[in-house]
C-alpha cells in the first residue's frame, strides 16, 4: 500500500470521481459538515480596503489597518472586513515562519490583556474582547496548513468545492481502507499510534506539495492537494479522539 499511496499523492490524475457507493457517501457526509464549518469560519476574507478613510472612534484620527490608534492608543473597533495576515503583521503566503507568527500573536495578546482596561469605559472593553477574539481566530487559522491553504484561496475569491476537483477513485478506496484499518485496530494502542504516525507523514507530504503549488501559483493543484488534506485531516481527527479515549500518551 505504501508505494501506491505515495504515487497517488505525487501524481494528480484526471480521473472522473465516482460517488455511488455507500462508503463514499459516508465519507462525503462527514466532509459536507466540515465544508460548512470552514465556509462559515473563513467568510470575512477581504482586506481593510475602502475608498473612505476609517477614523478612530475615540479621537477621529484616520487609520488603515491598525489595531491601536496611533494618536490616542485606544483599541480600535474591529473591522467588518479583514485579512488575517495583515492583522498579525505577516506576509501573505503559504510558507510561514511559525515561530515568528507565534511571537507576534503573543505580543498582540499581551497588548490586549483585559487588565490594561480595567478602568476604561465598557465600549473600550468590548472592542478589546472583540479584537482579541479576531486575533485568536487569525492565529489558529494560519497555524493550521489546511485552514491556511483554504484561507489563501478565499482571499482571492476562490474556494475548494470538491465536486469540481478531479479525485481518482483509487484514492477514495484508499481512504475507505484506512478507516477500516482503524476499525480493525479497536483498542490496540500500539496500532493506533502506528496508524497516526503514518497518517501524519502523509499529511506532511501533502503540505509540502501544497507549498509547491502555491509557490508556482498552480491553483488547480492547490485545490487538489487541499481536498486530499481534508480527508487525511478527518482521519487524524478520528485518531486523536481515539487517542484521548484510550488515554494514549505519546
pLDDT at 53: 66
d(CA 78, CA 121): 17
What is the CATH code for 54-155?
Answer: 1.10.287.110
Q: How many CA atoms lie within 13 A of 19 on its CB side?
A: 10
Phi, psi of 31 (to 5 degrees): -80, -20
Give the Cα-Cα-Cα angle 239, 27, 203 (nearest 5 degrees): 45
pLDDT at 112: 86
What is the CATH code for 2-17+166-246?
Answer: 1.20.1280.20
- When computed from its CA atoms, the radius of gyration of the chain, rounded to whole angstroms, is 22
The model's pTM = 0.76
For the chain, residues classed under CATH 1.20.1280.20 are 2-17+166-246
| CA distances (Å), origin 24, targets 7, 39, 170, 207 | 21, 22, 12, 24
By the 8 A CB rule, do 88 and 98 touch?
no
pLDDT at 65: 62
Q: What is the pLDDT along the chain (250 residues), one digit of tens a residue?
A: 433 333 344 444 433 333 333 444 444 444 444 443 443 344 444 444 445 668 888 787 887 667 778 888 778 888 777 899 999 999 999 999 999 999 999 999 998 887 776 777 788 888 888 889 999 999 999 999 999 999 999 998 888 776 667 788 999 999 999 999 999 999 999 999 999 999 999 999 999 999 999 999 999 999 999 999 999 999 999 999 999 999 998 7
| CA distances (Å), origin 69, targets 40, 54, 119 | 29, 11, 18
For the chain, residues classed under CATH 1.10.287.110 are 54-155
| CA distances (Å), origin 106, targets 69, 85, 143 | 19, 15, 13
Amino acid at each position: 500500500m505504501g508505494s501506491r499511496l505515495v504515487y497517488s499523492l505525487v501524481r494528480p490524475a484526471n480521473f472522473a470521481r465516482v460517488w455511488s457507493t455507500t462508503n463514499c457517501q459516508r465519507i462525503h457526509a462527514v466532509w459536507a459538515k466540515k465544508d460548512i464549518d470552514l465556509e462559515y469560519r473563513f467568510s470575512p476574507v477581504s482586506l481593510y480596503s475602502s475608498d473612505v478613510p476609517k477614523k478612530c472612534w475615540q479621537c477621529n484620527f484616520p487609520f488603515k489597518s491598525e489595531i491601536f490608534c496611533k494618536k490616542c492608543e485606544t483599541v480600535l473597533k474591529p473591522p467588518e472586513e479583514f485579512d488575517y495576515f495583515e492583522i498579525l503583521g505577516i506576509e501573505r503566503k503559504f510558507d510561514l515562519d511559525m515561530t515568528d507568527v507565534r511571537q507576534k500573536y503573543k505580543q498582540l495578546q499581551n497588548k490586549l490583556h483585559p487588565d490594561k482596561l480595567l478602568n476604561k469605559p465598557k465600549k473600550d472593553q468590548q472592542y478589546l474582547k472583540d479584537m482579541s477574539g479576531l486575533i485568536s481566530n487569525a492565529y489558529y487559522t494560519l497555524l493550521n496548513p489546511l485552514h491556511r491553504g483554504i484561507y489563501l484561496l478565499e482571499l482571492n475569491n476562490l474556494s475548494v468545492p470538491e465536486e469540481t476537483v478531479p479525485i481518482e477513485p483509487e484514492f477514495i478506496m484508499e481512504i475507505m481502507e484506512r478507516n477500516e484499518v482503524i476499525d480493525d485496530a479497536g483498542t490496540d494502542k500500539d496500532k493506533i499510534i502506528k496508524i497516526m504516525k503514518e497518517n501524519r507523514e502523509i499529511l506532511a507530504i501533502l503540505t509540502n506539495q501544497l507549498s509547491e503549488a502555491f509557490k508556482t501559483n498552480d491553483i488547480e493543484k492547490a485545490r487538489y492537494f487541499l481536498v486530499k488534506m481534508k480527508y487525511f485531516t478527518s482521519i487524524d481527527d478520528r485518531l486523536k479522539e481515539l487517542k484521548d479515549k484510550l488515554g494514549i500518551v505519546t
